[in-house]
Structure 1
Amino acid sequence: MQGRSQKRRFRSGNLTKAVLALICLVVGTAGTGSAVNPVGRAPHIVPNEFVFEDQSNRARHVSDEPHVVRGDKRDRVSAGARKPQLAQVALSLRLGLGPLAVNAQRMAPFGAIDAEQSTKRMLSHNAEMDRLAGVPAKLVDLVTNDGADILATAYAPTDPFHDPSSPFDALLGTKRNGRFVPPVVEGDHVWMKDPLPPKVFSSDEQKCLSTAIYFEARGESLKGQAAVAQVILNRVRNPAYPNEVCKVVYQNASWLNRCQFSFACDGVPERIVNRRAYRTAREVAMAVTGGKIFLRDVGSSTHYNATYVSPEWADGMEEMTQIGSHIFYRTYNGGWS
């Protein structure tokens, strides 16, 4: 009996020691904050006062792979570089455009998201965007020129694709550095090859051109208004006339009913009452001056008359076309016939 009692006490003592050891193990693990957690489970939060003690006692050679593979951790690459930047670098490598990645931040000063959007816009860029850049919707159908005179700032694109130092300009050859010269056909004169004087783009010159369009052709179609503007600008090119729009429009204005454009010498005050029509005239004036609109059927015409009159000078000129209520003519020798 005594031997059995000693064996029971021995077994009981061992069991007690095992339980105590297990408790100590559990408590010790909770106190140190185990670094290993099951995938997807939130990490154990350790109070701040224990963080320093834990870090000082932790072995430095312990692998951090359990942290990397956890589902709630970000991948290592995204922590070192932003994804939009990486996307631009990859894109530039595929296209062979190293400068794209370098210039990404310059083209998007407000952050990587803007840079990514700018890159997308540049990749979706096409020739039609250049063709219609800055053109009012009402004049889209009349546009005949892909580019525009460099002095016509109203049609200068300002998107990142046309940044002066953009690599796309050098690669695709889209930089605009020329003046508009009208297409010359058989029978045209040598002065048609000259670009317009820079002064015609000034506000005063554009005001004179817009006023002439308004009073001479505001009742005509948009094409008819553009044709009148083209005649005036052809005279500016022609050495037989003044080289300024205002001087062309108001030439001989002091001769009652004997000047070049009837509204300038008919004795009726120039009062612009239809603001919408005048705004349209201004848009037409700039579009024709900038070369966005050039009517080939009007060509180098320097004269026109209304269909309800028969001027004597018309018999000595070549009739080009009729648009609305106006007939357009060009001279045979470049000046007065």
Structure 2
Amino acid sequence: MLRRSGRVPRKAVDESRSFLAPALVALGFWIGFPGIVAHQDMAGLVSGEEGTGPRWAAFVEKSVAGSIHQAEMPFVDGDLKTGSISGSGIAAPGIGKIAFRGKKGFTGTTPDEERINRAEKTGRLVQVVPVQPPKLFEAGTIFEKTSFLLEKPSTDQPLMAFVDPDIKGKEVRIASAFYMKKDKKADPTLPRAIAELVNNDQPDILATAYAPQKPDYAKASPFASILREEEPAGGRFIPPVDAKDHPWARQPLPETVFSKREQQCLAAGIYFEARGESVKGQAAVAQVILNRVRNPTYPNTICGVVYQNEKWRNRCQFSFACDGIRDRVASPAHFKTAQEVAMATTAGKIWLPEVGSSTHYHATYVHPRWAGAMQRMKKIGQHIFYRTYGGGWN
């Protein structure tokens, strides 16, 4: 019985090993160098660039005239076609085959110096020709054009004339669109009760307690605001009384009325005479006191008016000054209001037309003899106000 040996012949093993070693080396080079390092074969030298097809399919063949590696020669005659020449090229000794191609462009016999047009070419320095000014007007010669008043100007220039504007009749509406009149806002520095009585936003310029107001473009133009034309009264407050009123009523107060002592006397007169009245009633009493300061018949100071004849028992101008009772401020809050009213009326921020130029008043529960000799004005609170007919003492 024959047995088959399981051993492989030594020769077969050697052959497989001899094939395996180069295959492993080649695989290692293929993995280590996946890209092409260089083209050093004939196809690379001829074409100079990598082809689109596989490298192993490239081959070398004899080139014909007109290939990319052959020299070319243009013809002067542009109509000559290279296809009309036998072989489409010539064989030059030492050079090889030269392909012929059509002429691109035109090559004439005229030199470049004559063919180039340099008519518009100028130098680097630019000369600016001065332009003549308009004939009808020249700067600085307006006084020399007196002939325009006597003769008709030449018609070679466009004539101008005044025409009616398109906005005629709409000036106020257009101006109001740019300078809208705003509602007056109450002064935040004044108590609300006093601020409601303020009817003048241009106080006396000497009243340092109030900051200057911004220009009101609804009343004054921007030009007047910038130029700041001097006011006739110099910024002083002039009572807006009627022209038929007493002349002294249209005079400003003395400058001393804004001093601390004068304001203290006015606040005292308001407090002791009308502290139980409304703010309007207190302002009316203050206006009477200030009217007496303007009136040349009375003292020209607030303290002189308030305490006039204070030595005469119950015969002075204001009863609290000669009633024999010591004047004490029992309510600081009411006295503070009196001080605010005093400054507002002195500065002209509050002016009551119903009181006007009144210089007298009395309570409603008394009937003085002098009341019948004066012009009665209005009743405000518990006081009735009077104005003299002649503007003097009575």
TM-score range, shorter chain: 0.5 to 0.7
TM-score by length of 2: 0.52
Give every structure 1 segment of 4 or more consecutive aligned residues whose post-TM-superposition deviation is greater than 3 Å. 1-7, 15-18, 167-177
2:201–2:213 CA contact under 8 A, matched in 1:
no
Cα distance change, pair 16–182 in 1 and its aligned pair in 2 (3 A): same
> 5+ residue gaps in structure 1?
19-124, 162-166
Q: Distance in 1 between matches of 2:235 and 2:213?
A: 17
| Deviation sequence 1:94-145 (CA, Å, 0-9, x none) | xxxxxxxxxxxxxxxxxxxxxxxxxxxxxxx96634x625322221211111
Please, which of 6, 12, 30 is the counterpart of residue 11 of structure 1? 30
Q: Find the aligned partners of 1:190 and 1:150 in 2 and give their Cα distance.
A: 22
Q: What's the CA shift string for 1:254-292, capped at 9, x where partnerless?
A: 011111111101111111111111111111111111111
SS in 2 for 1:153: coil
Superposition pairs of residues 140-289 of structure 1, within 5 angstroms: 140-156=195-211, 170-171=225-226, 178-289=235-346
Query: Could you tell me the TM-score, scaled by structure 1's length?
Result: 0.60
2:278 and 2:206 map into 1 onto residues whose CA distance is: 27
Going from structure 1 to structure 2, the CA distance change for 1:186 and 1:3 (only over 3 Å counts) comes to same
Does the aligned pair in 2 maintain the 1:133–1:155 contact within 8 Å?
A: no
RMSD across aligned positions (CA): 3.3
Larger radius of gyration: 2
Q: Does the C-alpha gap of structure 1 residues 178 and 269 become closer, same or farther in structure 2, counting only changes over 3 Å?
A: same
Q: Does the Cα contact within 8 Å between 2:202 and 2:213 map onto a contact in 1?
A: no
Counterpart for residue 353 of structure 2: 296
In structure 2, stretches of 5+ residues that fail to align are 1-18, 38-180, 217-221
Higher relative contact order (CA 8 A, sep 6+): 1
Per-residue CA deviations over 1:228-263 (Å, capped at 9, x if unaligned) read 000000000111111100000001110111111111
State the Cα deviation string for residues 78-108 of structure 1 (Å, max 9, x = none): xxxxxxxxxxxxxxxxxxxxxxxxxxxxxxx
Contact kept? 1:217, 1:228, Cα under 8 Å = yes
Indicate conservation of the 8 Å contact 1:318/1:332, yes or no. Answer: yes
SS of the equivalent of 2:196 reads helix
Deviation at residue 4 of structure 1 after TM alignment: 3.9
Percent identical pairs in the alignment equals 56
- Contact 1:317 1:331 survives alignment (8 Å): yes
8 Å Cα contact 1:258/1:265 also seen in 2: yes
**In the alignment, residue 366 of structure 2 is paired with which amino acid?**
V
Instruction: Please give the alpha-carbon distance, in whole angstroms, between the structure 2 residues aligned to 1:222 and 1:314.
Output: 25
> C-alpha displacement at 1:308, in angstroms?
1.3
For 2:121, the equivalent position in structure 1 comes to none
- 1:134–1:173 distance in 2 versus 1, CA, 3 Å: farther
Aligned residue in 2 for 1:327: 384
The alpha carbon displacement at 1:198 in A equals 1.2
The DSSP-based 3-state class of the residue aligned with 1:128 is: coil
Query: Counting helix residues as a fraction of each chain, which structure ranks higher?
Result: 1
